[in-house]
Structure 1
Amino acid sequence: MKKPLIFLAVAALAVLLVQLGGRHSLDLEALRGYIAGLADLTAERPVLVGTLFFVAYAAVTAFSLPLAVWMTLAAGALFGFWWGLVVVSFASTLGATLAFLAARYLLSDWVHDRLGARLATIDDGVRRDGAFYLFTLRLIPAVPFFAINLLMGLTPMRVATFYLVSQAGMLAGTAAYVNAGTQLGQLDSVAGILSAPILLSFGLLGVFPWIARFALSAIRRRRLYARWNRPERFDRNLVVIGGGAAGLVAAYIGSALKAKVTLIEGHKMGGDCLNFGCVPSKALIRSAKLAHQMRKAGELGLSPVDPAVSFGPVFARVRDVVTAIEPHDSVERYEALGVEVLQGHARLLDPWRVEVALSDGTARQLSTRAVVIATGAAPFVPPLPGLADVGYLTSDTLWEAFAERDAPPARMVVLGGGPIGCELAQAFARLGSQVTQVEMQDRVMTREDPEVSAFARAALAADGVEVLTGHKALACGVTDGGKWIEVQAGADTRRIGFDEIIVAVGRAARLEGYGLEELGIPAKRVVETNAYLETLYPNIYAAGDVAGPFQFTHTAAHQAWFAAVNALFGFVKRFKADYRVIPWATFIDPEVARVGLNEQDAREKGIAYEVTRYGIDDLDRAITDGTATGFVKVLTVPGRDRILGVTIVGEHAADILAEFVLAMKHGLGLNKILGTIHIYPTLAEANKFAAGEWRRAHVNPAVLRWLEWLHGRRRGV
């Protein structure tokens, strides 16, 4: 708090100087008198007067004193137009830069600590376009220059950029006032300086950068599209490539907004989530959880049972679950909504034409105003020697591979310690396999805080999973009919035998075969997009796993809204994708759910925070259910109830998290959650109790002592 207090002291001094100066009224007559008094000295010693004037002007600007207009007029009267312009231009820019540096030194850290992530978007915008916006603001006299100096000091703008842009941007306004000063004797009022023609000129100057930017953008677009033959008419408003979460939402929105939309899917409607990811994995996890509960029934006063697990019925149920949900994502449903659905492989021929190799062997060419690329991602398979020889499985292929098996594999290796690897390792362990999980990093689930990783590892170990962290996979092979994987930890190596191996080391965007390279669209790990989800070509967008930075079904749908709306209405208004509040969960048992920052994120970003914890082992409903394990951890701004992030570990953590997601989205603090009635007994009460922990930690001790005294007096003590 020392720096903000110093700033307040400086501001108070400036206010005091203004108050003292206000006792001596300053108008044109008084200014003419001062100029007359300095005229002889200026004529005799122009360098001395000019130097003192320069220093005084810089000081006035640095302290943001309301004297700049009068001193600019005085410069014109004392030194003439050209010398006056030089003195004022450099002095004002120097003073503005000093104010900029003072704000940065005294306030920037404090403001960023208080506002945290909410300033991230502004900081990114300043890094990208700060010079442009500063130049525009400097050209508009109605915007107080002192406010610009102070506000820009809170941003990451470079000092040199601020100085040079300010020098150029203030030059026109400075020239107008200095020129007026040379005619000081003819002025009737200061307001007369900015006549209607001059104000119009300034207005045009302020608009000019925007016009220039629009013109440059138009030229860039013209050059970008120059080598392509643009159709005179278009068959469609929007073509969506990919029928997964992002593609389905984009097509739905386009159709709902009465656009002509074509959706192209080369494999299965619903994409990875419905067919290989979220839906089947959660169905499998549910069966595994029931098997676990049957074995643990003694903890609830019932006779434990060791279930007989047959993969046939288990995976038949998984198929039934997928079949039950399929109609939500089916061709029939989307055609009923007005979307043209084509089954085939799409390839971009140019920015407006898409060729579709249909599943019946024929091909079609479509012309469209806009395209949304939503091709998703596939499991990444590392170049591990011998891996292909042992017949590896992935989260995409295991469903068919295990569907016809009766018994679970006796020995299984899961390669990878991320969310998918942890979910599958625990599920198959609960279904009867002896699972070994291999992770190269020093802990599983590395995006979470270390204590959460430790909690997850303990949960896996409790179900019989051998978790090998810090182990690098070296090779796979087959010896005498037995499959093995060799791993290394430090200088030690060992071989682990297995019957099946599942590779779950991450997912890679599907980028090849869609014409991206031929169009020159940058796509390395993902398709590169801007804040509006535009690719290199402003009419081609990308959303979902193929665009990153998140690989969740709900973020894919979230991005699809922005991509579809921008694709259809970007010529009028564009919307930046909003990633401020993104929740996610890992569905091990107990679940791990998070939104916003955790502690390791906050430390990496240098964001100050407080931690409030509530142990679910104290929650009545968790105790009655026999699930009294886990915690709620809330990060808040120091001294305030504004939520920076929440991590929940426990039964139904992903469902419980929803209240915090809503609170963060709409700027509600912990006091609002504390003041909300929660049904008793429910797991959601954990949120209220966590808020209560924060409230108790922030009660003023002096208030409590006063209340104790008050109640004592009322008792007559």
Structure 2
Amino acid sequence: MKAGKILVFIVLLAGIGAFFAFDLKQYFSLEYFQGQRAVLEGYRDSHPVQTTAVFFAVYVLVTGLSLPGATILTLVAGALFGLVWGVILVSFASTIGATTAFLASRYLLRDWVQGKFGDKLKTINDGIEREGAFYLFALRLVPAFPFFLINLVMGLTKMPVRTYFITSQIGMFAGTIVYVYAGTQLGQFKISPGLVAAFVFLGIFPLAAKKVLDALKARKVYAKWTRPASYDRNMVVIGGGSAGLVTAYIAAAVKAKVTLIERHKMGGDCLNTGCVPSKALIKTAKLLNQIKHSKDYGVKSATAEFDFAEAMERVQKVVADIEPHDSVARYTGLGVEVLKGTAKITSPWTVEVTLNDGGKQTLTTKNITIATGGKPFIPPIPGLREANPLHSDNLWEIRKQPKRLVVLGGGPIGCELAQAFARLGSKVTQVEMAPRIMTKEDPEFSEMVAKRFREDGIDVLVDHKATEVRVEGGEKIVVVQHQGAEKRIACDEILCAVGRAANTQGFGLEELGIPLTKQKTVEVNEYLQAHYPNIYACGDAIGPYQFTHTASHTAWYCAVNGLFGRFKSFKVDYSVIPWATFTDPEVARVGLSETEAKEKGVKYDVFTYGIDDLDRAIADSENHGLVKVLTAAGSDKIIGCTIAGPNAGEIIVEFVTAMKYGIGLNKILGTIHIYPTYAESNKYAAGIWKRSTVTKGQMEVATAFNDWTRGAGGLGTVIAKALAMSGNKERYYAAAPTHGDD
């Protein structure tokens, strides 16, 4: 650090240190002002210029050093100088002080912060450069936000000093008037209608300011568009998948006029190409595997005549059986207008629909919800597209089983389908470029699944990168690299399962200037509003969780905020999102994994229970798996849980509920669980937590007490042990938890 910066730092540190060392905070309280009111007013009357100058300087010093007391000084300004002069003094003193803190932060820290974290701050810097004044104004307009924090953080950005000063002056002006006026009433030191009104206004001012801010932002966003005089509909929903269906359902349930537009099949990916068909195929594969291992169930011999085409036809039958739940007929009956066609947003309030029969309609609507879902991502591997790979969309069309199948990807989709095809009889090779499959889970769960995959005959190639695909002599060749060596894998089909991409192209987003994220999802705020406040987005179109249940979850916010947001809006809550990978063993999770807890520096305890010990699992010959619970360190508050084993996706629901409603392990332990069930494993995991809380001191007291009740010891021993108990807090049971900071 340069000498100049060192000097500035020392001066600032000395000023802040002196404030607390000499207990100067006592002078920045209403009680002190009340006691000194007569003296201060007398000095003001006899020395008005000096009083004004000293007050101004103190205010600049307090705000410049980011010391507590600015709010009290603002009230004092109203009491001493009245509304007009008080507002003038505070307005300029606060802005000068804020700018001083801004400059100090910039001088001391900006170069270091930008140099070290510049790549991570690029988005923030671009936003400040583009609309910095507006965002600063937004923060200044709401007094509830800590102004000193704004000063320090903004100093780390590239905002021009002039812009910062002018915007702060304007942005803080309204709040200054409110606080100074409250101070003029405090000067009377009596309860008056004006004082009551001032504090009521202080309470509602942040809400009013937010409404004003939203109106200003909307005015700016909608400036180039002509708003219709009236609307044909309350809501237009684009996309008939899980997110779109739930949005339309809720809107229709509250008697809104809603139109749902779907260009292909109702039900979207989940019904037609994702959750439903994959689980139907997994069921068939699991049945064949159980028959193959019939001896495990006391059946000496069992065989099955399997036909792949018939199994795939069953998959389609399952889809057809569920299809009425998501059909046009059902939703029309619920009051939803369903149009089959392609939608394009042509203005914030109009949607043009090109119907599948060739016709066209233009719809006017108060709100729009983008629920366009996602599609399989095909990575840019040379030759891959030309080899016509299978993916989750087209897989269900095949009727000839591939004898040799290469699965690209070790995530949930890749793992589920790799195991299913292996159990159906295909020779499966799974290629994953990461060091392990299922990288979002803790390593022991990845290895548990990988071990079962190898037992099922899958060649699991981790740390292998597919570099090229060739077609030679009628067969497909996948070229992979591992530790510098090249390997060729011959196969009949390639299944690409490396993830999904949001459907955001071709719906008019580009023309309207609706921005996308780096992941090419629709950029939304915490209320799921896109660039235009009346346009919402949900489901796979926004991420970050590409699950059917999160699509439905986010759809609720779109429907409710879109229809009733003028009265009350709800921020989307991602705090408790569960998911499951339906391999064998199933792996389900909610909250933090241990890996994530370590990465985030969260202090935790971890408790595990092996399902190999569970009576029901033993009875079913399914005694494998693990329940792993993370709690806040020293507490039974659950912050994460991962379960691997039979029905993991079902039994984790107890932990999902517990996290959602703040139920700890102690309550789970005290809940009666039916015997014998897999859900008992949750109680046993809670029991391990409970045992870990028992100390040697407590056990010594218990031993002494029981000895005494049998006549084998004296009461004095019990008392002595009890008195010494606090000094012996070593855990009694060896099954002590692992601490996140160990």
TM range (shorter): 0.7 to 0.9
Alignment partner for residue 556 of structure 1, among 538, 551, 554? 551
Q: In the alignment, does 2:451 pair up with 1:446?
A: no
TM-score by length of 2: 0.76
Q: In the alignment, does 2:563 pair up with 1:571?
A: no
Cα distance, 1:135–1:353 mapped onto 2, change above 3 Å: closer
Q: In the alignment, does 2:265 pair up with 1:268?
A: yes
Q: Which moved more, 1:565-574 or 1:27-36?
A: 27-36
For 1:2-401, list aligned pairs within 5 A. Answer: 136-137=142-143, 158=153, 192=189, 196-197=193-194, 200=197, 211-401=208-398
Q: In the alignment, residue 266 of structure 1 is paired with which amino acid? A: R
Cα distance, 1:429–1:74 mapped onto 2, change above 3 Å: closer
Contact 2:231 2:365 in 1 (8 A): yes
In 2, the alpha carbon distance for the partners of 1:208 and 1:27 equals 25
- The secondary structure found in structure 1 opposite 2:398 is helix
**Cα drift, residue 193 of structure 1:** 7.2
Q: In the alignment, does 2:485 pair up with 1:492?
A: yes
Alignment partner for residue 678 of structure 2, among 664, 678, 683? 683
Alignment partner for residue 413 of structure 1, among 398, 406, 410? 406
Cα distance, 1:321–1:36 mapped onto 2, change above 3 Å: closer
- The secondary structure found in structure 2 opposite 1:627 is coil
Q: In the alignment, residue 668 of structure 2 is paired with which amino acid? A: I
Contact 1:57 1:68 in 2 (8 A): no
Q: In the alignment, does 2:593 pair up with 1:598?
A: yes
For 1:630-641, list aligned pairs within 5 A. Answer: 630-641=625-636
Percentage identity across paired residues of the two chains: 48
- The secondary structure found in structure 2 opposite 1:385 is coil
**Cα drift, residue 198 of structure 1:** 5.9
In 1, the alpha carbon distance for the partners of 2:75 and 2:276 equals 72
- More relative contact order, 1 or 2 (CA 8 Å, 6+ apart): 1
Q: In the alignment, does 2:473 pair up with 1:483?
A: no
- The secondary structure found in structure 1 opposite 2:662 is coil
Aligned length: 647
RMSD between superposed Cα atoms in Å: 4.6
Cα distance, 1:714–1:384 mapped onto 2, change above 3 Å: same
Q: In the alignment, does 2:449 pair up with 1:456?
A: yes
Cα distance, 1:138–1:641 mapped onto 2, change above 3 Å: closer
- The secondary structure found in structure 2 opposite 1:420 is helix
Cα distance, 1:27–1:594 mapped onto 2, change above 3 Å: closer
Cα distance, 1:711–1:174 mapped onto 2, change above 3 Å: same
CA deviation digits over 1:126-183, x for unaligned, max 9?
A: xx989967874479xxxxxxxx89xx99x9984979x998996997699789999xxx
**Cα drift, residue 389 of structure 1:** 3.1
Q: Which moved more, 1:275-284 or 1:299-308?
A: 299-308
In 1, the alpha carbon distance for the partners of 2:151 and 2:586 equals 39
In 1, the alpha carbon distance for the partners of 2:182 and 2:361 equals 66
Point out where structure 1 has 5 or more consecutive residues left out of the alignment: 1-12, 102-127, 140-147, 181-188
Cα distance, 1:234–1:480 mapped onto 2, change above 3 Å: same
**Cα drift, residue 305 of structure 1:** 3.4
**Cα drift, residue 707 of structure 1:** 2.2
Contact 1:245 1:557 in 2 (8 A): yes
Q: In the alignment, residue 639 of structure 1 is paired with which amino acid? A: G
Residue of structure 2 in register with 1:509 after alignment? 502
Contact 1:241 1:372 in 2 (8 A): yes
- The secondary structure found in structure 2 opposite 1:575 is coil
Cα distance, 1:304–1:526 mapped onto 2, change above 3 Å: farther
Contact 1:14 1:63 in 2 (8 A): no
Q: Which moved more, 1:355-364 or 1:500-509?
A: 355-364
Q: In the alignment, residue 228 of structure 1 is paired with which amino acid? A: W
Residue of structure 1 in register with 2:734 after alignment? none
In 2, the alpha carbon distance for the partners of 1:202 and 1:337 equals 48
Cα distance, 1:373–1:713 mapped onto 2, change above 3 Å: same
Contact 2:178 2:201 in 1 (8 A): no
In 2, the alpha carbon distance for the partners of 1:273 and 1:264 equals 17
Contact 1:475 1:485 in 2 (8 A): yes
Contact 2:59 2:73 in 1 (8 A): no
Alignment partner for residue 688 of structure 2, among 681, 693, 710? 693
TM-score by length of 1: 0.79
CA deviation digits over 1:468-491, x for unaligned, max 9?
A: 111111111122222211111121
In 2, the alpha carbon distance for the partners of 1:336 and 1:30 equals 74
Q: Which moved more, 1:25-34 or 1:668-677?
A: 25-34
In 1, the alpha carbon distance for the partners of 2:194 and 2:449 equals 70
In 2, the alpha carbon distance for the partners of 1:570 and 1:593 equals 34
Q: In the alignment, does 2:519 pair up with 1:522?
A: no
- The secondary structure found in structure 2 opposite 1:192 is coil
Point out where structure 2 has 5 or more consecutive residues left out of the alignment: 1-20, 106-133, 157-163, 714-742
**Cα drift, residue 195 of structure 1:** 5.4
**Cα drift, residue 410 of structure 1:** 1.5
